[in-house]
């Protein structure tokens, strides 16, 4: 049986040629391809600085380190995200906490964030970083979060793993109009791929140089950053404790080639979303609510089951669709309900909207290379599953 996945890469001959060309070149890593990829992302997003790494998980980690997150500090994020959005705090020895989601957009709820900040200020336990996640590709309420960050002094690090190509109030995601740091993922199911890969954007020159050092062991070759006079042409200094999170030239070459089609990819995803909106409208489903002042990049198309209007349970609908060869998925189970987080004392039940979402949501196939026929097959099977 042919499976229609929930997401997959869109690779063309030019992408393949770009990778092969790199394999024949002088550099497989630390050559010219990574800066070229970073420039392509800067051009597409309007970012002042773009620092490419080997995954968005690594990008979140060095984003936290660059912002100075450490033991005793606190990072807040959304419970409805991939675990990496929260794990990055724990890697730094810091603590994490969650703010429940908005029932309409499924992004971090600003009223709940504001309320939690009031309480946190009273007990002297304000977060150092807040990570809004642009779930499915629809930007979170960035202007309101930015205003709160000015009042309470926290760093805003966007998790834009789903959202390259999205816009918010006329600005592009990645240009840091409302954030200090913005993280992107180039995993194959995301909008643009490098195989594995991630990137951080920032407008802040100091954060950018710290990010560049942290991705390669904390080493600098810039005399302006050194503690001593360079002793000779071999000389470099390690001035931070960094990691090896470098992206290779092979991955970057694929990414640069893919970036040429970012506009095309997002346009096709918007077409698919509009067609789902139209053809699923009669079914007992809550279709994705979109705020008028922002445009999603449509990494995912998530429907929620109106469970009291159908015979099958959430699980049964999943099993029905999987049996028909549809790679439907759930993005995401609440992070605080994961066994690792439960053992840290978290309970999913403290985030009732995230729990409800996890009991009703289904990501249905959405990727730029999906044909109309495949989309029709998804619509037909979903119609059978829920009626």
Ligand X SMILES: *Cc1c(COP(=O)(O)O)cnc(C)c1O
Site of interaction with ligand X (CB under 6 A): 55-57, 81-82, 84-85, 133, 159, 161-162, 185, 187, 198
Cβ nearer to ligand X, comparing 199 with 370: 199
**Least spacing, CB of residue 188 vs ligand X, in Å:** 9
Cβ nearer to ligand X, comparing 244 with 313: 244
**Least spacing, CB of residue 176 vs ligand X, in Å:** 18
Cβ nearer to ligand X, comparing 220 with 248: 248
**Least spacing, CB of residue 320 vs ligand X, in Å:** 26
**What phi, psi does 111 have (nearest 5°)?**
-60, -40
Cβ nearer to ligand X, comparing 52 with 370: 52
96 near 83, Cβ under 8 Å? Answer: no
Dig out the tokens for 121 from the structure.
């200020």
**Least spacing, CB of residue 205 vs ligand X, in Å:** 25
**Least spacing, CB of residue 89 vs ligand X, in Å:** 13
Cβ nearer to ligand X, comparing 65 with 84: 84
Cβ nearer to ligand X, comparing 113 with 280: 113
Cβ nearer to ligand X, comparing 76 with 220: 76
Question: Which residue, judged by CB position, is nearest to ligand X in the bound state?
Answer: 56
Cβ nearer to ligand X, comparing 300 with 355: 300
**Least spacing, CB of residue 133 vs ligand X, in Å:** 5
Q: What is the 3-state secondary structure (H, E, C) of the chain?
A: CCCEECCCCCCCHHHHHHHHHHHCCCCCECCCHHHHHHHHHHHHHCCCEEEEECCHHHHHHHHHHHCCCCCCCEEEECCCCCCHHHHHHHHCCCEEEECCECCCCCCECHHHHHHHHHHHHHCCCCCCEEECECHHHCCCCHHHHHHHHHHHCCEEEEECCCCCCCEECCEECCCCCCCCEEEEECCCCCCCCCCCCEEEEECCHHHHHHHHHHCECCEECCHHHCCCCCCCCCCCEECCCCCECCCEHHHHHHHHHHHCCHHHHHHHHHHHHHHHHHHCCCCCEECCCCCCCEECCCCCEEEEECHHHCCCCHHHHHHHHHHCCEECECCCCCHHHCHHHHHCCCCHHHCHHHHHHHHHEEEECCCCCCCHHHHHHHHHHHHHHHC
**Least spacing, CB of residue 1 vs ligand X, in Å:** 27
**Least spacing, CB of residue 32 vs ligand X, in Å:** 23
């Amino acid at each position: 049986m042919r499976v229609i996945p929930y997401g997959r890469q869109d690779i063309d001959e030019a992408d393949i040629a770009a990778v092969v060309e790199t394999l024949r070149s002088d550099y497989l890593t630390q050559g010219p391809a990574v800066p070229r990829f970073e420039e392509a992302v800067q051009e597409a997003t309007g970012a002042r600085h773009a620092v490419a790494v080997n995954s968005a998980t690594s990008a979140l980690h060095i984003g936290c380190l660059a912002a100075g997150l450490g033991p005793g500090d606190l990072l807040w994020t959304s419970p409805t995200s991939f675990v990496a959005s929260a794990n990055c705090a724990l890697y730094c020895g810091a603590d994490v906490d969650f703010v429940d989601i908005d029932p309409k957009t499924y992004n971090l709820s600003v009223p709940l964030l504001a309320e939690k900040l009031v309480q946190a200020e009273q007990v002297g336990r304000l977060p150092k970083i807040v990570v809004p996640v642009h779930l499915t590709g629809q930007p979170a309420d960035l202007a309101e979060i930015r205003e709160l960050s000015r009042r309470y002094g926290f760093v805003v690090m966007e998790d834009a793993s789903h959202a390259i190509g999205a816009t918010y109030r006329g600005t592009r995601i990645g240009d840091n109009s409302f954030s200090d740091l913005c993280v992107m993922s180039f995993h194959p199911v995301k909008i643009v791929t490098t195989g594995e890969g991630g990137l951080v954007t920032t407008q802040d020159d100091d954060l950018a140089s710290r990010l560049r050092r942290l991705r390669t062991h904390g080493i600098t070759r810039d005399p302006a950053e050194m503690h001593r006079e360079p002793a000779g042409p071999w000389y470099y200094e390690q001035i931070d404790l960094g990691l090896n999170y470098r992206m290779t030239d092979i991955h970057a070459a694929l990414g640069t080639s893919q970036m040429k089609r970012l506009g095309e990819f997002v346009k096709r995803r918007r077409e698919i979303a509009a067609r789902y909106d139209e053809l699923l409208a009669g079914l007992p489903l809550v279709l994705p609510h979109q705020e008028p002042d922002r445009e999603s990049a449509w990494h995912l198309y998530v429907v929620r089951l109106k469970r009291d209007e159908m015979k099958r349970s959430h699980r049964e609908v999943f099993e029905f669709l999987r049996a028909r060869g549809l790679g439907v998925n759930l993005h995401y189970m609440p992070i605080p309900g994961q066994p690792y987080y439960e053992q840290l004392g978290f309970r999913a039940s403290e985030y009732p909207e995230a729990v409800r979402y996890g009991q009703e949501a289904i990501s249905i196939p959405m990727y730029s290379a999906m044909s109309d026929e495949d989309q029709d097959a998804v619509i037909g099977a979903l119609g059978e599953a829920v009626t």
